Amino acid sequence: MNRDPVYRQEVQEELLARLKRIEGQVRGVSRMIQEQRSCGEVVIQLAAIKAAISQVAMTTLACHLADEVMEGLAGGKELKDIMAEFMQVFRKFT
């Protein structure tokens, strides 16, 4: 199904807060590069950004899976077909 994921309010708020922190981290890395900070320090911050993005993606994928299973089963789809569709989306992330 190609529709927007439905997030519970608390999940949506958590994701938006994480994304704002990620924005701040990215701006911080930009400043670090402008200030010619060590590559090691920059890499550490980039790793933190990467981990934070992965957390946002995994939470979003979990919501997507839940939506797909509920809607697919309600629509009479077989679980194996629902999972095959989900795996297409999951592979795009990995």
pLDDT tens column, 39-94: 999 999 999 999 999 999 999 999 889 989 999 999 999 999 999 999 999 999 87
Q: Rounded to two decimals, what is the model's pTM?
A: 0.79
Domain boundaries, the chain: 9-91
What's the confidence (pLDDT) of residue 6?
A: 61
Q: Which phi-psi region, left, alpha or beta, contains residue 44 (left: φ > 0; alpha: ψ -120 to 50)?
A: alpha
Cα distances (Å, whole numbers) of residue 35 to 5, 27, 29, 50: 40, 12, 10, 22
9-91 has which CATH code?
1.20.58.1000
Alpha-carbon torsion, ordered 26, 14, 9, 74, to 10 deg: 90
Give residue-wise pLDDT tens across range 6-54. Answer: 667 888 999 999 999 999 999 999 999 999 999 999 999 999 999 999 9
Position 2 confidence tier, pLDDT thresholds 50, 70, 90: very low
Residue 88: phi and psi, rounded to 5, are -60, -45
